[in-house]
Amino acid sequence: GAGVSQSPRYKVAKRGQDVALRCDPISGHVSLFWYQQALGQGPEFLTYFQNEAQLDKSGLPSDRFFAERPEGSVSTLKIQRTQQEDSAVYLCASLPGTSGREGYEQYFGPGTRLTVT
């Protein structure tokens, strides 16, 4: 079956440009997470959706970051006025349950590598 897919896989943006990163979770998965992984670091939480509701956005680093999941499936992470510090791999993960507390596996996409020049 299809896993989590993300597009584009690579994105180069000039400083100040807006970018949109797409995540297609596994069909039927209720929960969707976005993470940011800087070079040489572990992934860090950005935001969490349960169906179309954004339940936690505490990890978004600034108001330039915005995420949506309007129909409870595909999600888009938008970064406005990109800065060099936004350069990272952006990972999307989904899981069938309603949160990670029960120890359910999160299924990760391949990530989008964003480079801001």
Partner 1 sequence: GDSVTQMEGPVTLSEEAFLTINCTYTATGYPSLFWYVQYPGEGLQLLLKATKADDKGSNKGFEATYRKETTSFHLEKGSVQVSDSAVYFCALSRTALIFGKGTTLSVSS
Give the residue, chosen from 25, 26, 35, 82, that forms a contact with partner 1 under the rule CB under 8 A: 35
CA dihedral 28, 33, 36, 41 (to 10 degrees): -100
Give the residue, chosen from 30, 56, 70, 78, that forms a contact with partner 1 under the rule CB under 8 A: 56
Give the residue, chosen from 45, 66, 74, 87, that forms a contact with partner 1 under the rule CB under 8 A: 45
Give the residue, chosen from 74, 76, 99, 113, that forms a contact with partner 1 under the rule CB under 8 A: 99
Catalog residues that contact partner 1 under the rule CB under 8 A.
3-4, 33, 35, 40-45, 48, 55-56, 59, 91, 93, 99-103, 105-106, 108-111
